[in-house]
Each structure stands twice: as structure tokens, then as C-alpha cells.
Chains A and B, each alone.
Chain A
């Protein structure tokens, strides 16, 4: 028995609120506790997702959230794994539960983010690739996303209209999501009419940065049963594997790939291996998946993820998109929450937000955006420095 139960989930709406990340985290945590109907005093482990832009309190997020909720003597931990921070925090909580060292674990991530491009911290840092890529190349995050998008055009015949259709779909999905920041229909013409940031990506192809908070209450299956829950949503897999050397896809914020001239490249890319490890751990296959929440930092990346997750063959994601198969009601709905297109990215909260959405989907509680009959859901994301995650939940 290697499952743990998702007893409660909660979020603070995404936006540009200008408040402290602690406020969002506490709101999300209280929502998750209320959702589970579990008192705070029952929580014996708090795992915080670290935020790197909010000073010491952000570095010790586990402590910050536990203190704000009122010290209750719980153990604490803090995780940082770039965009996969929330999933790594979840993995820590799961490990403690499966080891019998925790019964009720609260995992919280929240962030307050600046406007515009995510730029490196100030000061001259000539040995930091994240600083040097701006200094020597002017290489922003959207420029990396654009490299991947351009390959879809040149290799698979994708068009900027296809990328725009991802935005149109996700905007429609997120229309009635109370936690989404952007809740407005978008037309293909709106995307194509917005300024080009990094060819072929327009401003509306690229996700914003947002404030937000998300929390997940994980418990042992035993604890859930004692509370009368015999069929809770379960965590079936949390994959946070690293790449394998040599990594042959250029990765933010690096200047080059690894050298593939001595050790041959493996059969899977990093993103493919994240999903592969999740399927192996869950004992499930892509055909079993009913719904996916993937990291659409750009519209085109959603199409890459569909293939990385094995939901369709390489180079065919556009066909599914155009046929409406990734829209709610289609064969394999992708990003029913509205995705990053409707949320914007709140780094340490985002992987947890994906888990919150899948939990609501699998319980049949995703009002206005429900994927009917969903039993298995998968998440995927990738961040800086070899971090990434894929989480599988099921009923």
C-alpha cells in the first residue's frame, strides 16, 4: 500500500493583490482544512513551498505558515524546486506519511511576484548562468519558450493560429473558475493581434506572473477511513526525477546542452522521463488518463506536454487541439482549470494548484468546468535547474 489520501484542498484566488504571500498561504491552508473538516490541531506536519522573492520568511516557508496558523507543535519542512516546488513539498509529506511518521500533513505554497519579465536578482554575478544569459545574450524566459514553439512550426507544421487556439480554449475553460485571475473569452484574432514578444510567440501566448496560494491536506488512508472516507482521492505517483546526462534539449537558463559525443543520449527527454516515472510508479498508462493539468508557460508548451505525457504521438498535438479533443467534452481535456493562461504563474503554489484542480475534477466538484466521469488525472511541469514534476491522482 503506497497511496496517501488527499483529504482537503484550498486556494487563495490568483491575481495581483499586492499583499503578503503569508496571507495567501494561510487563506489557502484554512480553506483546505475546512474542505477536509479537519481541525488545525490535528496537523502533525507542515511542509512549505519556499518563495525566493520574499525575504527570510519566504526561505523558511514551512515555519512561516505554521507560525501564522498558530504554533501547534507540528514538525515542519521547507522545499524549493523552482516550478516543481509544490510537488516536491507534497513528496516530502507523502514520504513522512508512508514512513508512519505523520498522519496529517498540510502542504502550502504561496507567492507574491513582480510585474513583467522575471529578471535575475540585482548585482553583478559573473559566475551565475541566470545572470549571464541576460547580460551576454539578452535571453529572457519567453525566448526559451519561443525556441520550443518554433520547432513545432518548422518540424510539425504548427501555426501561430494553433498556438492561439490553445489560449482560446484555456480562456474558455477558466471562465467560471473562481480562483482564476483572467476570466474573459479570448479570440484567435486577439492573440494574433497582441504584440510579438519572441517570434513566434505573442504577448497573449505567454503566461503572466501572479500572486496566489494553494494548499493540500494529505493524510494516511487509515486516517481518512477513520474519518469515514472510504473512497478519497488518492495520490498514485509523485515524480520529481532529474534529467539524465547528457541532456540534449537546451534548458532555461543555460547557454548550452550537455555534450552527447561521449555518452549517447537516452531514449527519453527530461520531460518525457518525468511522465514515464509517474506512470511507472502509479502502474498506469497514458490511455488511463481522463484529464491533464500541464504547465502552459506558453501556449505552444501545452502541445509539447501532451506529447511528453504520451497523450498523443509526437507532432500530432495540433490535430487533437483542432478537433476539440483537448476541450472539456473532448477525448482528453487539457487544463480544465484554465491553466497558466488564466492564472499566471505563482511559482511555489503552482504545482499544488494543479493538484487542487485535479482533486476537484475527480470528486466531480469542478463547477462549470467539470470533466464528466474523470477517474484518473495527471499533472506536469518543468522549471529551472533540472526540476520538474508529474503527479498522478485517482479515485
Chain B
């Protein structure tokens, strides 16, 4: 039974999405969740509701991790394999980091590429697979290069 590597940051169904919060007073969206105070300097709101972020966006920039990151990174089982990373601009005006989906790397995206959110296994511990959100390129041939 796969469980999220962190509670409450994303949903895991067919159409997973990131879970942030929205300030009831001004409408500003926060990811990760912000429940105690609104960081909009013109707002003193303190009431928040859960807010699912857009599942699709475009790549703001991207890279990869060719060396195994240090702890507390938990490597997946087996030999180290590099993985991609992307910062993705969502239509509501917030840019969110994530790894690229399994099997995708820096050659599969460019600035502006469309991606969608998926949930995949990040590592395995005593409880079984631990999952995380990732960005999956959706237009592999539509790039500008």
C-alpha cells in the first residue's frame, strides 16, 4: 500500500493535485499550506480554506540531479539514477517545484513546455512505497528545438 511521503500536501487519485490553502480575506494562494497568517502585506487575514492547485502548467525552468543528494534525501532502491527537476508556472500565478516524472529528463522539456501533475514512488521504507508529486511532460514533440 503506497502512502504519501508527506501528509496533506497532495491528493492521490486518478487526477491528483497539490493541496495548498487560500486566504479567505484576500484570495492569495499558498503552497505548502499556510494556515496561521496571510503574507500579503495588505492583508491581515487569518482564516484559510484548503485549495487544490491547477494540475497542469508550463515549465519555468528545469535541471537534474546527477549526483545523489545528501540526507535527508532517501534514495530509491538500487543504484543511483539521476532524476529531473522542474519549476512549473501554474495558470493561477504561482510557480511550484517538483521532480520530473520517472523516465523523463532535461532533454524532454524546455522553458514553456506543458506538464501535468502525477504521483509516483519517491522511496520505499518499512511501511512500503512512499509517494510524491511529479511533473510529467505532455507535449514531447511540440517543443521549439
CA distance A140 to B65 in the complex (A): 8
Does A195 lie at the interface of the complex (its beta carbon under 8 Å from any beta carbon of B)?
yes
CA distance A120 to B32 in the complex (A): 19
Knowing A147-B62, A195-B66, A199-B63 are in contact, say whether A259-B28 is a contact too (CB < 8 A): yes
Does B104 lie at the interface of the complex (its beta carbon under 8 Å from any beta carbon of A)?
no
Q: Which of A72-130 contact B (CB under 8 A)?
A: 116-117, 119-120, 122, 124, 126, 129
Residue of B nearest to A122 (CB): B71
Q: Mark B93-110, 1 if CB is under 8 A from A, else 0.
A: 111111100000010001
Are B28 and A262 in contact, with the CB atoms below 8 A?
yes
Q: Mark A254-265, 1 if CB is under 8 A from B, else 0.
A: 111111111100
Output the residue of B61, B96, B98, B132 with the most chain A CB within 10 A: B61
Interface residues on A, range: 35 or more
Does A241 lie at the interface of the complex (its beta carbon under 8 Å from any beta carbon of B)?
no
B44 → A minimal CB distance (Å): 13
Are A250 and B60 in contact, with the CB atoms below 8 A?
yes
Does B142 lie at the interface of the complex (its beta carbon under 8 Å from any beta carbon of A)?
no
- List of A residues within 8 angstroms of B95 by Cβ: 248, 250, 256-257
Total contacts A to B, CB within 8 angstroms?
140
Does A136 lie at the interface of the complex (its beta carbon under 8 Å from any beta carbon of B)?
yes
Output the residue of A116, A134, A257 with the most chain B CB within 10 A: A257
Are A134 and B72 in contact, with the CB atoms below 8 A?
yes
- List of A residues within 8 angstroms of B97 by Cβ: 133, 137, 139, 250, 254-256
Are B27 and A261 in contact, with the CB atoms below 8 A?
yes
- List of B residues within 8 angstroms of A199 by Cβ: 63-64, 66, 106
Does B117 lie at the interface of the complex (its beta carbon under 8 Å from any beta carbon of A)?
no
Does A189 lie at the interface of the complex (its beta carbon under 8 Å from any beta carbon of B)?
no
Knowing A134-B69, A138-B73 are in contact, say whether A259-B29 is a contact too (CB < 8 A): yes
Interface residues on B, range: 35 or more
- Residue of A120, A198, A245, A260 touching B64 (CB-CB under 8 A): A198
Output the residue of B40, B74, B95, B111 with the most chain A CB within 10 A: B95
Are A135 and B110 in contact, with the CB atoms below 8 A?
no
Are B96 and A138 in contact, with the CB atoms below 8 A?
no
Does B87 lie at the interface of the complex (its beta carbon under 8 Å from any beta carbon of A)?
yes
Knowing A140-B69, A257-B95 are in contact, say whether A150-B63 is a contact too (CB < 8 A): yes
Knowing A146-B63, A197-B66, A261-B94 are in contact, say whether A155-B111 is a contact too (CB < 8 A): yes
Knowing A146-B63, A147-B63, A150-B62 are in contact, say whether A263-B40 is a contact too (CB < 8 A): yes
Does A154 lie at the interface of the complex (its beta carbon under 8 Å from any beta carbon of B)?
yes
- List of A residues within 8 angstroms of B98 by Cβ: 137
CA distance A140 to B30 in the complex (A): 22
Does A143 lie at the interface of the complex (its beta carbon under 8 Å from any beta carbon of B)?
yes
- List of A residues within 8 angstroms of B85 by Cβ: 137-139, 143, 147, 198
CA distance A112 to B77 in the complex (A): 35
- Residue of B28, B61, B74 touching A150 (CB-CB under 8 A): B61
- List of A residues within 8 angstroms of B40 by Cβ: 245-246, 262-263
Knowing A136-B6, A259-B94, A262-B28 are in contact, say whether A143-B39 is a contact too (CB < 8 A): no
- List of A residues within 8 angstroms of B124 by Cβ: none
Output the residue of A149, A151, A259, A260 with the most chain B CB within 10 A: A259
B118 → A minimal CB distance (Å): 15
B91 → A minimal CB distance (Å): 9
Are A134 and B71 in contact, with the CB atoms below 8 A?
yes
Are B83 and A138 in contact, with the CB atoms below 8 A?
yes
CA distance A246 to B73 in the complex (A): 29
- Residue of A133, A250, A261 touching B93 (CB-CB under 8 A): A261
Does B5 lie at the interface of the complex (its beta carbon under 8 Å from any beta carbon of A)?
yes
- Residue of A129, A135, A246, A260 touching B5 (CB-CB under 8 A): A135
Q: Mark A6-49, 1 if CB is under 8 A from B, else 0.
A: 00000000000000000000000000000000000000000000
Q: Mark A140-173, 1 if CB is under 8 A from B, else 0.
A: 1001001111110011000000000000000000
Does A131 lie at the interface of the complex (its beta carbon under 8 Å from any beta carbon of B)?
yes
CA distance A146 to B97 in the complex (A): 13
| Cβ contacts A to B, 11 pairs, < 8 Å | A116-B70, A132-B6, A133-B97, A134-B69, A146-B63, A151-B60, A154-B111, A154-B112, A256-B95, A261-B27, A261-B92
Instruction: Report the 8 A-B pairs with minimum CB-CB distance, sorted nearest first.
Output: A146-B63, A261-B93, A154-B111, A138-B69, A260-B93, A147-B61, A119-B70, A259-B29
